[in-house]
Amino acid sequence: MRYRTIGTGAVRVAAIGLGCMPMSWAYSASQRDRQGSLRTVRAALDAGCTVLDTADMYGPYTNELLLGRVLRERRDEVFLAAKCGLLAGDRHIVANGRPAYIKRACDASLRRLRTDVIDLYQLHRIDPEVPVEETWGAMSELVAAGKVRALGLCALEPRGRRGRGGGGPGGAVADRYARTLRVLARIQQVFPVNAVQAELSVWSPEALRGLLPWCEARGIGLLAAMPLGNGFLSGTLTPGGGFEPEDLRARHPRFTAEMMAANQPLVAGLRRVAARHDGATAAQVALAWLLAQGRHVVPIPGTKQEHWARENAAASELRLTPQDLAEIAALPPAQGSWE
Ligand SMILES: NC(=O)c1ccc[n+]([C@@H]2O[C@H](COP(=O)([O-])OP(=O)(O)OC[C@H]3O[C@@H](n4cnc5c(N)ncnc54)[C@H](OP(=O)(O)O)[C@@H]3O)[C@@H](O)[C@H]2O)c1
């Protein structure tokens, strides 16, 4: 396993983390299995991963309860990245950045996670009703209280709020990061940002433009969410294969049969590169490509499957050549977007 240092404390974390969301949220609910998920988390730790990314909203709450089970035994091996500020209601999600709520949410997360400190507490969404400085100020008080070690910001917005659309691939998303950079400048005045979590992958590279350079210049970690393109870049999904009704891909414009077929050249390109590296997979190439983008990038591929957790962790050892990187850079931009 390779390592990276992130944030003001130059904390050392494994280069590949584990996104725990699929164990309790977003994908193929019928395949969720508590015992299998526990094995997956343990397999990731055995393979040297340290970052476990969770949120009170996943489940809701059950993802933290699940991790609590592992943390009880292996807390010292884990860099625990939790989140606050977003609540899952019945068929809708809502931001809550009120200081009193954030403090209550932290205490509740600590109880469920069976730990007395969270390594990275991330603001899941900015509450439009509350000045972000107030929310961030409350989070900084949690650091002062010793409940949290460092703070992070998730730079993802709910569907339909990514800007006005149009402007070609990534156009509206580039605007989104311009706003994020303004928010980051504001909250940095209140308390240091140690990590930013944003979507970043071969088929969603927009964060490379402004957000990643901002993080790299400051040694701030960029936790790459959805690094496998919600599974697409692994090449294991069949166009037209369908998704369960609650699976986010059932409504995602890039996961219609037509768009999945149209984006196959991306998978083919990753496979061509993988074929030059003995036994590598397209998913591993997608993760190694992320590691090559910056010294502070930490992909957090999500899975509930033990074998994929091992496969993803092993991507840390895969070194792409300049030719590999040039070929991936020359792949066609992805078709289909939320905008
Ligand atoms: N802050 C935010 O708002 C936010 C938003 C999205 C994600 N995140 C975080 O980022 C993490 C990663 O994003 P993500 O999980 O949405 O997307 P992802 O990592 O791009 O893809 C996850 C999907 O890929 C599949 N998969 C994983 N490894 C694979 C492999 N080696 N081969 C084939 N398929 C594989 C998983 O299948 P199985 O489900 O069958 O395991 C899952 O369906 C999340 O888990 C979460 O922690 C945060």
pTM of the model: 0.95
**pLDDT at residue 126 in the model:** 95
- Ligand 1 probe mutation, 39, 285, 305, most atoms within 8 A of CB: 305
Residue 88: inside a domain: yes
**pLDDT at residue 274 in the model:** 98
Over 80: is that where the pLDDT of 176 sits?
no
CATH number of the structural domain spanning residue 38: 3.20.20.100
Residue 201: inside a domain: yes
Q: How far is CA 269 from CA 202, 225, 253, 318, in A?
A: 11, 21, 21, 16
Residue 196: inside a domain: yes
Closest ligand 1 atom to 309 CA: 28
Distance separating the N- and C-terminal Cα atoms of the chain: 37
* Distance between CA atoms of residues 270 and 274, nearest Å: 6
User: Bridge-partner residues for 12, per DSSP?
Assistant: 5
- Ligand 1 probe mutation, 246, 308, 312, 316, most atoms within 8 A of CB: 308
Over 60: is that where the pLDDT of 200 sits?
yes
pLDDT tier for residue 162 given thresholds of 50, 70 and 90: very low
* Distance between CA atoms of residues 241 and 256, nearest Å: 10
**pLDDT at residue 89 in the model:** 76
Number of independent structural domains in the chain? 1
Of the listed ranges 2-6, 218-222, 242-246, 310-314, the least confidently predicted one is 242-246
- Ligand 1 probe mutation, 40, 94, 123, 226, most atoms within 8 A of CB: 226
Q: How far is CA 60 from CA 19, 35, 89, 158, 230, in A?
A: 15, 18, 9, 17, 20
Q: Identify the three-state secondary structure at position 221.
A: strand
17 lines ligand 1 (CB under 6 A): no
Question: Nearest 5°: CA angle at 106, between 103 and 108?
Answer: 110
Closest ligand 1 atom to 21 CA: 45
Residue 107: inside a domain: yes
Closest ligand 1 atom to 305 CA: 41
Over 70: is that where the pLDDT of 172 sits?
no
pLDDT tier for residue 171 given thresholds of 50, 70 and 90: very low
pLDDT tier for residue 8 given thresholds of 50, 70 and 90: confident
**Residues 97-142: tens digit of each pLDDT:** 999 999 999 999 999 999 999 999 999 999 999 999 999 999 999 9
Residue 118: inside a domain: yes
Query: 313, 51 in Cβ contact below 8 A?
Result: no
Residue 74: inside a domain: yes
**Which residue's CA lies nearest to atom 36 of ligand 1?**
303
Domain extent, residue 220, equals 3-230+294-318
**Residues 25-39: tens digit of each pLDDT:** 989 888 999 999 999
**Which residue's CA lies nearest to atom 48 of ligand 1?**
225
Closest ligand 1 atom to 122 CA: 1
Kindly provide the residue ranges of all beta strands, DSSP E only, lying in 15-74, ordered along the sequence.
Answer: 18-19, 51-53
Q: Which positions are annotated as active-site residues?
A: 58
Residue 86: inside a domain: yes
Q: How many angstroms does the Cα of residue 26 sit away from the middle of ligand 1?
A: 9
204 lines ligand 1 (CB under 6 A): no
Q: How many angstroms does the Cα of residue 229 sit away from the middle of ligand 1?
A: 8
Residue 252: inside a domain: no
Q: Please provide the average confidence, as pLDDT, over all residues in the chain.
A: 93
